[in-house]
Amino acid sequence: MTDQQLQKFKAWFADYIADFYGTSAYIDANLELKEIHTDYVCKEAIYIAGAIGLGENDRLIAAVIALFHDVGRFEQFTKYQTYSDAKSENHNLMAVRILKEYNILADLTETEQDIILKAIELHGAKELPADLDELTELHARIIRDADKLDIYRVLTEKYRQYRDDPENYSLELEQVDEPTYSPHIIEAIQNHAQVDYTSLKTLNDMKLLLLAMIFDVNFAPTLKRIKQHGYVGQLLQLLPDDEVMEKVGQTMRVYMENKIFQLDKQAGS
Ligand SMILES: [Fe+2]
């Protein structure tokens, strides 16, 4: 694919999402969050694709996947006033449906279309299926890493805003803010395991889920970015100040150092 095609996709995306604005200030504020998110995820995906040494064509494909990965969010929030897939519809599948409906990718080769649609379909899955072909898996891993990087930016900021001024907080909060957290999530973190969204009880659980998502990061450049921004420390500052959390912080830091070392070694060999 070409850069010209990417520019065409960007123009279509801007046009498509513009129609969803204007219903209410609340909806607009939430949509804008996803519009800015898309922009950041594109930048992160291009950064990762470059840092792991992909060629021009795959860098462009990574950018298209990033551009369209959350295209379903605009219809989702307008229709259901929530970003919770459980309370509405699976936004990964919505994106695939919309791209097919508008036949946006028609100019690309069939292989490119398949990779893009599959990576988008799987960007929010708890884990990737084992039977993906190599290139699809690579792109699915890139979008999942790029998405995570920006989820950390968005949510640490959002939760800070809420903590500092809960009365004037104007965005959707998906969990109840109670001072507790669930033991099974702490256990998952100690085991370097993922946490199921459906098992969350409180806002603290969600913050811990964000930490556990680090175990699912695929590339050293992503981990380095997480470290550079200090997202682990930022999340811990938003969690209760106790011994359990101190241990969680230690688990995360040790894991990240080891994983960066291991991935860098793999990439170098
Ligand atoms: Fe998404």
Residues 138 and 188 in one domain: no
pLDDT tens per residue across span 117-134: 999 999 999 889 999 999
The answer as to whether 167 is a domain residue is: no
The answer as to whether 152 is a domain residue is: no
Residues 59 and 139 in one domain: yes
The 8-class DSSP code of residue 38 comes to H
Q: How far is the CA of 154 from the centre of ligand 1 (A)?
A: 13
The answer as to whether 134 is a domain residue is: yes
Q: Which of 94, 125, 144 is the last residue of a domain?
A: 144
What Å distances lie between residue 158 and 85, 155, 174, 239, 264, CA to CA? 19, 5, 12, 14, 32
pLDDT in the model for residue 198: 84
Contacts of 149 (CB under 8 A, 6+ apart): 40, 41, 44, 222, 225, 226
Residues 190 and 244 in one domain: yes
pLDDT tens per residue across span 26-53: 999 999 999 999 999 999 999 999 999 9
Q: How far is the CA of 123 from the centre of ligand 1 (A)?
A: 6
Please tell me the total count of domains within the chain: 2
Q: Which residue has the higher pLDDT, 59 or 125?
A: 59
Task: State the pLDDT confidence band at 249, using cuts at 50, 70 and 90.
Answer: very high
Q: How far is the CA of 247 from the centre of ligand 1 (A)?
A: 30
Q: Is the predicted pLDDT of residue 69 greater than 90, yes or no?
A: yes
Q: Helix axis angle, 25-51 relative to 220-229, nearest 10°?
A: 130
Average pLDDT over residues 98-109: 97
Q: Is the predicted pLDDT of residue 178 greater than 90, yes or no?
A: no
pLDDT tens per residue across span 187-225: 999 999 999 888 899 999 999 999 999 999 999 999 999
Q: Which of 124, 144, 164 is the last residue of a domain?
A: 144
Contacts of 159 (CB under 8 A, 6+ apart): 203, 207, 238
Q: How far is the CA of 78 from the centre of ligand 1 (A)?
A: 16
Residues 133 and 201 in one domain: no
Q: How far is the CA of 39 from the centre of ligand 1 (A)?
A: 13
- Domain interval for residue 134: 3-144
Average pLDDT over residues 97-118: 98
State the DSSP H helix or E strand holding residue 55, giving kind and residue range, or none if neither: none
Q: How far is the CA of 243 from the centre of ligand 1 (A)?
A: 33
Residues 112 and 205 in one domain: no
The answer as to whether 241 is a domain residue is: yes
The whole model's pTM is what?
0.92
Q: What burial class does residue 229 get, using C-beta atoms within 10 Å of its C-beta: 0-12 exposed, 13-18 middle, 19+ buried?
A: middle
Q: How far is the CA of 265 from the centre of ligand 1 (A)?
A: 30
Q: Tokens representing 18?
A: 């513009």
Residues 136 and 220 in one domain: no
pLDDT in the model for residue 190: 97
The answer as to whether 181 is a domain residue is: yes
pLDDT in the model for residue 225: 96
Residues 139 and 192 in one domain: no
What is the number of helices (H) and of strands (E) in the chain? 12, 0
The answer as to whether 169 is a domain residue is: no
The answer as to whether 9 is a domain residue is: yes
Question: DSSP states of 194-252 as a string?
Answer: ---GGG--BHHHHHHHHHHGGGG---HHHHHHHHHHTHHHHHHHTS--SHHHHHHHHHH
Q: How far is the CA of 77 from the centre of ligand 1 (A)?
A: 12
Residues 7 and 138 in one domain: yes
C-alpha 149/C-alpha 45 separation (Å) is: 9
Q: How far is the CA of 244 from the centre of ligand 1 (A)?
A: 30
Q: Tokens representing 241?
A: 């100040």
Q: Which residue has the higher pLDDT, 36 or 86?
A: 36
Q: How far is the CA of 241 from the centre of ligand 1 (A)?
A: 31
Residues 138 and 224 in one domain: no
Q: Which of 61-70, 121-130, 173-182 has the lowest mean pLDDT?
A: 173-182
Closest CA to 151 of 235, 54, 26: 235
**If you average pLDDT over every residue of the chain, what do you get?**
95
Q: How far is the CA of 16 from the centre of ligand 1 (A)?
A: 17
C-alpha 155/C-alpha 226 separation (Å) is: 13
pLDDT in the model for residue 248: 97
What percent of the chain lies above the pLDDT cut of 70? 100
Residues 35 and 134 in one domain: yes
The answer as to whether 81 is a domain residue is: yes
